[in-house]
Structure 1
Amino acid sequence: MTRPLRLVTAALTVSAALLLSACGSGGDDGSSPGIAGADTGGDTSSAPATPTGPGGADRPEVKLPGTFRAEFTGWTDSDPKKQAILDDGRERLKAEYAAVIAADPKAEAVGFYTSQQALTSSRTYIQGYVDNDHTLIGAARVFNPQVSISDSGGGVLFYCVDESKGYTQDRRTKKKTGTPDDVNPVLQYRTTLRKNAKGVWSTVSLETERGGCDT
């Protein structure tokens, strides 16, 4: 699917060593094949997040319509802290997709899971769809998550998104547009997260690179 240019106002705030660590560590087998959410019991797009952190944050339930699926593969880790980062990182992406489809750049769930530079970037990205009267249909396969924790306690989460089965659709004409044949349909997302006062791992910086993943 074609996408408006994502605004990136700041570089990832992690060291080169941590980035290398993030690329080399991660879930039990984040690169496992398949597109049906093999480690999560299928499509997790309609499942509510589980409250975590002191007292349990009251997380918003993120739902995607039947016209668009987010299929997560390999999003498990034996380390509970890393799993918490994976869980909140997953919900952040789902919240962004849901906001695009709802044409709502200020959606509650986006602000809940995202802050700082990443929130500015995400809202600009969603607004691009709203301005063009576009939505998303089809499916995105989200795979190979790589998670790391810095010495200061912050999180780094890289993952890949295959958009080959996802489309941008004009809300008025219903015309759909996919990724051109000469463009790599897989993007790598590079995010950093900080645990906030609610116990939520909020994504604070975000970059994407098309073709940054091995498939």
Structure 2
Amino acid sequence: MTLAHLLAFNVTLLAAFLSPGPAMLYALRNTLRGGLWLGFVTGCGLGLVAAGWTLAAFLGLQAVFLLVPWAYGAMKLAGATYLIWLAWHIWRNAGGALPGTPERATGQVALRAFGMGMLVNLANPKSVLFAAAVLVVIFPAGMAPAQIALIVGNHLLLEVLGYGLIAWALSRPAARAAYMGARRRLDQLSALVLGALGLRLLAPMPADTPPTSATSEVLP
């Protein structure tokens, strides 16, 4: 694994993070209704499970590809189809209205939000398919446990920081109004990045086989 792999992963993670999927909409809803603390603990629950899906994808997909080589191509096709569909869905619904009016949150409500955040991503196909599709094309197979731990920890840190930043920003009236005004363009940007990744997965490669430590695919 190189720094280029990690940077490519972070750029793609950021694009997916900003998309209005179930996890993001739940975090936004809780932030708008409960303020900074509720939004942050919701993001911690969401991020913990999202990083867990990344770990599961690393541990499971490498074994599957070793036993069933053609599964690599199938996963690329499924991942590309999903990412392109997600990009179209985001573009079509860019700038849609968000529910919620600010209200005060209690400690019990925040704890429940943390647990519900975990459940949202446990049942969120975006989290599962993102991990499965993106890790295949970015990282080489056969990485050391320390490298996998670094990537998973990086994912968790970015998720928590991202949701924390959003909660902090939207808890302030001026920033909240600015975000709502620019939300359509941010949605469209996320759609373009995810769509480009999907097309990249569909593009023919010199050797369309599972990545090894000697040959890996890196996003342009």
Query: Normalised by the shorter chain, which TM-score bucket?
Result: under 0.3
What TM-score, normalized by structure 1, do the two folds share?
Answer: 0.28
Q: Greater share of helix residues, 1 or 2?
A: 2
More strand by share: 1
Which of these two proteins has the greater Rg computed from alpha carbons?
A: 2
